[in-house]
Amino acid sequence: MLLEGGPQTAVVVAEHLGLTPTAVRRHLDHLVDSGHAMTSERAPYGPGAGRAVTRGRGRPAKVYTLSAQGRDAFEAAYDDLAVGALRFLRDTGGPESVMAFANHRVAELERRYAAVSQTETLPERVTELVAALSRDGYAASVIDNPIGSSVQICQHHCPVGHVAAEFPALCDAEADAFSRLLGTHVTRLATLAAGDGVCTTLVPVVPTSTRSSERSAPTTARVTTEVLA
């Protein structure tokens, strides 16, 4: 009712719903407490804008108005708009234009997550990255692999999942950003955009250079032994 009818008092809402003003006011105050609505003594816009609404003995009545957060709670066509914009970009500038946009988008992510790359150890960087992703709504977590040489960063939600389903370049650019932030190569194993149950990124906890040295040592020894033989 606040979305479609604009600023209203509890009495007006109650009349429309056939409830008591007290019951309606309790629900409206809950919306205010949660940040989905605001109150004032005057309607901020609409036919009654600027005019105080009175009730009994001239006491101003609360006027309830939907907040920006309240409007965001309703379904919006942002995904359709984003997909349409990227389709236009692809059709007019080619696939490389979409990739350029994806890289531009993750550059902002890297700027905001700069503290991750400044953390001393790789496990600490993984923890910082997971925390930053969760704050941005990705519902991220980290899972240790049984063998202990790697961990998996799991993102259980993706705010741009529907868009990334058609434009996987967004996922590719994000994985590249993770590599730069963590300072090691990562591998994307699964994505929500591809229909998987969770976005999963494999992160080796042993530095790449160390693993390479460990692999090369036995090979060198084996070759030397063969030559001596």
pLDDT for res 75 = 66
Indicate whether 114 and 192 sit together in one domain. Answer: yes
166-178: buried (b, 16+ CB within 10 Å) or exposed (e) per residue?
Answer: bbebbbbbbbbbb
Spatial distance between the Cα atoms of 49 and 47, rounded to a whole number of angstroms: 6
Q: Residue 103: which residues within 8 A CB-CB, separation 6 or more?
A: 173, 176
**In this structure, is residue 144 part of a structural domain?**
yes
- Per-residue pLDDT band for 43 (boundaries 50, 70, 90) equals low
Indicate whether 108 and 207 sit together in one domain. Answer: yes
Indicate the residue among 72, 101, 126 that finishes a domain.
72
Q: Which domain holds residue 42?
A: 2-72
pLDDT for res 69 = 85
Domain with residue 93: its CATH number is 3.30.1380
Indicate whether 30 and 103 sit together in one domain. Answer: no
**Which tens digit of pLDDT belongs to each residue from 154-166?**
999 888 888 999 9
Q: Is the pLDDT of residue 217 over 90?
A: no
Q: Is the pLDDT of residue 93 over 80?
A: yes
**Which tens digit of pLDDT belongs to each residue from 189-199?**
999 999 888 89
Would the pTM count as exceeding 0.85?
A: no
pLDDT for res 42 = 64
Whose CA is closest to 140, among 128, 162, 157?
Answer: 157
Spatial distance between the Cα atoms of 193 and 83, rounded to a whole number of angstroms: 13
Indicate whether 40 and 98 sit together in one domain. Answer: no
Tokens representing residue 48 in the block:
């009654």
